[in-house]
Every structure is written in C-alpha cells, then in structure tokens.
Chains A and B, each alone.
Chain A
Amino acid sequence: MDFSRLHKYASPMHFYSWSLAVAPWLGIACAVLFVVGLAGGLFYAPPDYQQGESFRIIYVHVPSAWMSLFIYMVMAGAGALGLIWHVKLGDMIARASAPVGAWFTFLALATGSLWGKPMWGTYWVWDARLTSELILLFLYLGYIALQGAIEDRRTAARAGAILALVGTVNIPIVHYSVEWWNTLHQGPTVTKFDAPSIDTSMLIPLLVMSLAYTLYFCTIVLVRTRCEILEFERNTTWVKQRAAGVNAV
C-alpha cells in the first residue's frame, strides 16, 4: 500500500487546500439533506398514534444524541492519531471537534427536555440515558477546559488526547453503571422509542436527518480545522505566503 500518498493528504498544508475545495460541496449536500429531512419529518411523516405531533422532535433530537457520541469517538480517535503516530492533523481535528460535540450533546439534552415536558410531564428525569448524556457533556467540558488551560497548542492537544482516551474507556462503564443505578432506584417508568418498531415513513426522514447532521459536522470540522491549522502553523512559510497572497487580493 502506498502510504506516502496518505501522508501527503494528511499534511496540514495539503489538507488546507483540499478541504477548502471540498467543504462548500459538503455544505451544499448537507443543506439539501436538511431541507429534505425536515420536510419529510415535519410534513410527510404521519403523526404518532400515541404522541401525536410532539414526536416530530426526534428528527432533531435523535441525530443530536447520535452525533454527541460519534463526535466523542472522532475526537478520541483523532487525538490518538496525534498522540501515538504524531499525525499533527489528528491533534487539530480533535481540538476542532470538541466544541461541536459539546453543542450537539447540549442540543440533545435540551430537545429531549422540551420533549419530556408534554410527554413525561417534566423537563428532567434521572433516566439512565439522560444521565449518561449529561455526564458526556461534562466530559466534553472537561476536555475543553483542559485545552484552554494549556498555552502550548501541541501540548494541549496531546494532553487532551489522553483525557479523551480515558473518557472513551469510561463511557461504557458510565453507560452501564447509570443504567444499573436507574433500575436500582426505580425511576419513573419511561416509554422508550424502540428503533426497529418505528414505521418506514417515519424512519426515512430520521435517517436523512442523521446524514445531514453528519455532513454538517464534517463541513464544520473542515472549516474549524483550517482555522486551527492557521493558528498552529502560523510561523511556517506557506501560511505566511498564503496570508500575504490573501492580503494582496
């Protein structure tokens, strides 16, 4: 296998150029999918037989919850690339992903809470899923706080990678312990959505929305990573030349 090519695309300078070309297309695809998914979810999908129209919040809620976990994995994976194989781009992607992931986690919690009010009669219950999502938000915030506290970007990225990896080992433990804790404490009985029991007309918009969210994340991370690259590499010749070029235009 030709690793030199891979290496080339992973170098910050090349990444900067190709992401500049790719990001707008991803953004357009994301916008189209958003429109299709929202139209499908808000207008074409039939109301739920039990929950009526309120169920439609799953089209923003469930993809956010998926993204919150997915982005944590991306962050830990990219951080590990930077930590173990010294791929600088990994450091930058990890750093760029964290706030996006934290916001998705917050969005999942907020939309879930808004849905909970009409359905469960309360904004918050100590349900296992809610609690582990909240802990996930704390993990993100700890990561961001650590990034903010270390001046040197390289050190910050590598320290963050260790924290993200410790968090990754911890996430399944948190998940199962919280689930067990909840059954022990006999929380309010919660009727959950069972993914397989959802009707196709409701499922398709959900999948489209998930794809839209994923593309949104990819687009934003490409843009944010470019910004990270400029700050990381501000003393290199190519960044200076590029900056000079932009100024000339």
Chain B
Amino acid sequence: MMSTLVASKAMLLRDLRRSIRRSQDLAQSLIFFVIVITLLALAIGPDDQIFTTIAPAGVWIAILLATTINLERMFLSDYQDGTIELLLLSSASLPALVAAKIGAHWLTNACPQILMAVIVGAVLGLKTDVLVALGLSLLLGSPILSLIGGVASALTVGLRGGALLLSLIILPLYMPTLIFGTAAITNAALGLPIEAELFFLSGVAVLSASLAPFGAAAALRIRLS
C-alpha cells in the first residue's frame, strides 16, 4: 500500500516535471485552442451578438478538440521508450500509477486550457455570471475528458492512425459532458440556476474517476501483452 502511494506520487511528480520541461507542447495546445476560437469567429462574421450566443459552444468544442489532440501524448512517449513495460512489472498497483499519469495530464493540459478559456471569454466580453459558469463547467467537465480519454489513449497507444482513431473513439463518449457543460453556460446567460448541470458533471466526474484508472490499466496490459 505504502509503496503504491510513494510510486504514484513519484509518477505524478515525474510527469509534471517532464511536461514543464517540454513547455512547447503545452504552448502548442493553447495556440491551437485560440486558433479554433478565431476560426469560429471568422466563420460567423463580425456580428457580436451572434458570436456571444455561440461562444460557449465554441469554447467547449475547442476544448474538446484540443483535449483529443493532446490525449495521444498521454502514454505515447512512455510506450515508445519502454517505461510502460516497467510500470506493468512494478509491484505498485497499475491503476494507481495510471491515475497519477492521468492526473498529471489533467494538471498540465486541462488546467492551462481552462485558464485560457476564461481569459478568452473575458476578452470576448462574456458577462461575469457566464464566465463563472464557463470556468466551473470546464473545471468539473475536464477531469471527465481526461479520465475517459485516458482509457481511449491507452487502447490506441502506438497504433497507426492513432490521433484520428482516438478522436473517432473518444468524441461520442464526450457528448454528455459537452451537453451539460454548454447547458450550464447557456443557463447562466439566461439568468437560470446552473447547479443541476454542475451536479451532473460532478457525478459523472466521480464515476469516471472511480472506473477509468482500472479501464486504462487493463487497456495498457492488453496492448502490451
């Protein structure tokens, strides 16, 4: 038990340190996110009213796409250099190690994206209530994306056509999160309460947190068997 805790903590710190040293990856995903928002604005035209209505949906779609693109990296380098094999051989529990990896991925990929989304929202002139709803829905929704994404990432690690295959598998599974995330923001814009959506997102987040590490661990074992 103790060794598992120590090992997961070490795993988490290692992944965090590695992402910080490779900050280029992080910058790329943020730039991608901003570009998608810009594309949306260009496609809609310079009408502020329409854009403010569509912005929440646009931000969520941009987050989904940026997350999906990032997911491939979750296990890829460890798969290529053989680290995953060592994790499988380790005496520490594999789901705990995988959970640490997913946690590190969430901290280094999702958190900056949420911050960026709120900044972009503020720049685009969303109201404070809407910004709060945007931030909260992303804060509760993005762990779901990383967790379910972890399973899909483990299933497709090292396969040819990885990124496209991954998005094909993962995007249908993301739809409930998208529905409730955007519903919270829409409600906030209409001045309606948003608790129900946030509770739903928290519920699914807890469900994913309790199941996904086991799924991802099983997936890694299968892929490397």
Of A116-124, A142-150, A198-206, the one contacting chain B is: A142-150
Cβ-based interface call for A184 (8 A): yes
Kindly report which residue of chain A lies nearest to residue B170, judged by CB atoms: A142
- B155-A163 in contact (CB<8A): yes
- B211-A169 in contact (CB<8A): yes
Task: Report A79 CB to chain B, min CB distance, Å.
Answer: 12
A146 and B169 contact, Cβ closer than 8 Å, known pairs A166-B148, A173-B204: yes
Contacts of A184 in B (CB 8 A): 183, 186
Interface size class of A (residues with CB under 8 A): 20 to 34
Cβ-based interface call for A69 (8 A): no
Contacts of A138 in B (CB 8 A): 168, 171-172
| A131-169 interface with B by 8 A CB criterion | 135, 138-139, 141-143, 145-146, 149-150, 155, 158-159, 162-163, 165-167, 169
Contacts of B173 in A (CB 8 A): 139, 166-167, 170
Kindly report which residue of chain B lies nearest to residue A143, judged by CB atoms: B169
- B175-A145 in contact (CB<8A): no
A149 and B156 contact, Cβ closer than 8 Å, known pairs A135-B175, A142-B169, A178-B179: yes
Cβ-based interface call for B159 (8 A): yes
Interface string of A163-199 (1 = CB under 8 A from B): 1011101100110011011001000000000000000
- A163-B223 in contact (CB<8A): no
Main secondary structure of the interface of B (DSSP, over half): helix
Cβ-based interface call for B75 (8 A): no
| B185-203 interface with A by 8 A CB criterion | 186, 200
Partner of B218, one of A141, A162, A173, A180: A162
Contacts of B156 in A (CB 8 A): 146, 149
- With the chains together, A169 CA to B204 CA distance in Å? 11
- A155-B223 in contact (CB<8A): yes
Cβ-based interface call for B161 (8 A): yes
- A173-B169 in contact (CB<8A): no
Cβ-based interface call for B180 (8 A): yes
Cβ-based interface call for B133 (8 A): no
- B155-A155 in contact (CB<8A): no
Inter-chain CB contacts under 8 Å: number:
75
Interface size class of B (residues with CB under 8 A): 20 to 34
- With the chains together, A143 CA to B168 CA distance in Å? 9
Kindly report which residue of chain B lies nearest to residue A165, judged by CB atoms: B215
A174 and B176 contact, Cβ closer than 8 Å, known pairs A145-B165, A162-B155: yes
Contacts of B222 in A (CB 8 A): 155, 158-159, 162
- With the chains together, A177 CA to B197 CA distance in Å? 10
Kindly report which residue of chain A lies nearest to residue B203, judged by CB atoms: A173
- With the chains together, A135 CA to B177 CA distance in Å? 13
Contacts of A166 in B (CB 8 A): 148, 151-152, 173, 215
Contacts of A150 in B (CB 8 A): 159
Task: Report B140 CB to chain A, min CB distance, Å.
Answer: 14
Task: Report A104 CB to chain B, min CB distance, Å.
Answer: 17
- With the chains together, A184 CA to B218 CA distance in Å? 38
Task: Report B90 CB to chain A, min CB distance, Å.
Answer: 21
Task: Report A141 CB to chain B, min CB distance, Å.
Answer: 7
Cβ-based interface call for B160 (8 A): yes
- A177-B175 in contact (CB<8A): yes
Interface string of B148-166 (1 = CB under 8 A from A): 1001100110011100010
- B176-A173 in contact (CB<8A): yes
Kindly report which residue of chain B lies nearest to residue A157, judged by CB atoms: B222
- With the chains together, A139 CA to B179 CA distance in Å? 17
Partner of B180, one of A135, A141, A145, A177: A177
A177 and B179 contact, Cβ closer than 8 Å, known pairs A162-B218, A166-B148, A170-B173: yes
Closest 4 CB pairs of A and B: A138-B172, A177-B176, A142-B169, A181-B179
B interface list, Cβ under 8 A from A: 148, 151-152, 155-156, 159-161, 165, 168-173, 175-176, 179-180, 183, 186, 200, 204, 207, 211, 215, 218-219, 222-223, 225
Further pairs besides A141-B168, A162-B219, A177-B179: 15, Cβ < 8 Å: A135-B175, A138-B172, A142-B170, A142-B172, A155-B223, A162-B215, A163-B155, A166-B173, A169-B207, A170-B176, A174-B175, A177-B200, A178-B179, A181-B179, A181-B183
